[in-house]
């Protein structure tokens, strides 16, 4: 039997106006989606992604899923986002990342991990933190070629270029693989708002000092905001406890609280700073034009 204890936290960050991340944390389905696209279309894309996954995977009523079922559900969500962007021109070009896992066989302790884009699924097992999804990003391709290191990728100026996303095209290539769940496994699923602000060592330090899944989700969101909070940040923490009970039907059991923490945005110091800079630059430009007009008026006399 599998018991799941999960925690979730999401936050707009310290700079952005709106939170375009969405997540799903219920019924053995744990996914994070990071939306992109103007005029709140990113929010729509990430919401369609997790809503469609929930509908397709939990309402099918199958307790046991194959990798292909999960990939098909992700492709279904891709079609839903793409159709919406074609039908409504205000949402043209919207897209989203998607990563996370579905408990695919509670009897045999298996999960299917899926990924499209640069949000990440990590596994904490035997005291070691490992990213188990591969980013579909430009900087990851540079790391693969040996052109830059993983540490350099984190601060690279092109780190936000995503090579694969949901909703951009009528077809999407989905990474899926099966994981044999071990007792004590902890999965951390997050948007790039966390990993762009904190390296694996900082994340690991929080894992070691946390007291439970919700506490860790809250800690990691706080870490991202303390380090700058330049993007929306969403973190799911999913802990598995395996029991050897053979006399009862093995089922996935959700243990509350899975209540997400959606914290109030902190004071937006950066926004007001950039606003002041922009106002000052515009004042200089206006002054410059005034002087130029005055000079040309004098010169033409
Ligand atoms: Mn993001």
Query: Per residue, what are the HEC states of the chain?
Result: CEEEEEEEEEECCCCCCCCCEEEEEECCEEEEEEEECCCCHHHHHHHHHHHHHHHHHHCCCCCCCCHHHHHHHHHHHHHHHHHHHHHCHHHCCCEECEEEEEEEECCCCEEEEEEECCCEEEEEECCEEEECCCCCEHHHHHHHCCCCCHHHHHHCCCCCCECCCECCCCCCCCEEEEEECCCCCEEEEECHHHHCCCCHHHHHHHHHHCCCHHHHHHHHHHHHHHCCCCCCEEEEEEEEEECCCCCCCCCEEEECCCCCEECCCCCCHHHHHHHHHHHHHHHHHHHHHHHHHHHHHHHCC
Gap from CA of 158 to ligand 1 centroid (Å): 14
Q: Give the mean pLDDT of the chain.
A: 88
Q: Could you give the percent of the chain with pLDDT greater than 90?
A: 74
Gap from CA of 279 to ligand 1 centroid (Å): 28
Burial (CB < 10 A; 0-12, 13-18, 19+), residue 263, is middle
Under the banding of pLDDT at 50, 70 and 90, the label for residue 256 is very low
- CB atoms near residue 159 (< 10 Å): 20
Length of the chain: 301
Gap from CA of 182 to ligand 1 centroid (Å): 30
pLDDT (average), residues 213-230: 97
pLDDT (average), residues 101-117: 95
pLDDT (average), residues 48-77: 92
Gap from CA of 35 to ligand 1 centroid (Å): 7
Gap from CA of 192 to ligand 1 centroid (Å): 5
- Of the listed ranges 74-78, 94-98, 131-135, 280-284, the least confidently predicted one is 280-284
Are the CB atoms for 72 and 55 separated by under 8 Å?
no
> How much is the pLDDT for 243?
79
Gap from CA of 191 to ligand 1 centroid (Å): 6
Gap from CA of 33 to ligand 1 centroid (Å): 9
What digits encode the pLDDT tens for the residues 157-192?
A: 999 999 999 999 999 999 999 999 999 999 999 999
pLDDT (average), residues 268-277: 49
Gap from CA of 113 to ligand 1 centroid (Å): 20
Gap from CA of 29 to ligand 1 centroid (Å): 21
Q: Is it the case that residue 242 has pLDDT exceeding 80?
A: yes
Gap from CA of 178 to ligand 1 centroid (Å): 26
Largest CA distance in the chain: 102
Gap from CA of 205 to ligand 1 centroid (Å): 22
Under the banding of pLDDT at 50, 70 and 90, the label for residue 141 is very high
Gap from CA of 40 to ligand 1 centroid (Å): 14
Gap from CA of 55 to ligand 1 centroid (Å): 24
> How much is the pLDDT for 299?
66
> How much is the pLDDT for 291?
62
Gap from CA of 201 to ligand 1 centroid (Å): 20
Gap from CA of 252 to ligand 1 centroid (Å): 30
């Amino acid at each position: 039997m599998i018991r799941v204890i999960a925690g979730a936290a999401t936050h707009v960050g310290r700079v952005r106006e709106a939170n375009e991340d969405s997540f799903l944390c219920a019924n053995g389905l744990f996914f994070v989606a990071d939306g992109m696209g103007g005029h709140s279309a990113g929010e729509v894309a990430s919401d369609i992604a997790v809503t469609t996954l929930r509908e397709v995977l939990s309402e099918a009523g199958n307790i046991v899923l194959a990798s292909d079922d999960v990939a098909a559900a992700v492709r279904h969500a891709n079609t839903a986002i793409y159709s919406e962007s074609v039908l409504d021109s205000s949402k043209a070009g919207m897209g989203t990342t998607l990563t996370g896992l579905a408990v695919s066989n509670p009897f045999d302790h298996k999960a299917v991990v899926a990924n499209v884009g640069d949000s990440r699924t990590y596994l904490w097992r035997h005291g070691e933190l490992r990213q188990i999804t591969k980013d579909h990003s430009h900087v990851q391709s540079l790391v693969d070629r040996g052109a830059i290191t993983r540490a350099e990728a984190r601060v690279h100026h092109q780190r936000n270029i995503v090579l694969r996303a949901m909703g951009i095209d009528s077809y999407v290539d989905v990474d899926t693989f099966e994981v044999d769940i071990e007792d004590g496994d902890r999965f951390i699923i997050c948007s790039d708002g966390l990993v762009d602000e904190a390296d694996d060592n900082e994340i690991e330090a929080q894992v070691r000092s946390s007291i439970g899944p919700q506490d860790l989700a809250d800690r990691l969101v706080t870490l991202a905001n303390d380090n700058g909070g330049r993007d929306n940040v969403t973190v799911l923490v999913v802990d598995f406890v395996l029991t050897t009970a053979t006399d009862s039907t093995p089922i996935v059991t959700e243990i509350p609280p899975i209540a997400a923490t959606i914290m109030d945005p902190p004071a937006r110091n950066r926004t007001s700073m950039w606003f002041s800079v922009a106002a000052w630059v515009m004042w200089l430009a206006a002054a410059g034009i005034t002087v130029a007009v005055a000079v040309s008026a004098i010169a033409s006399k």
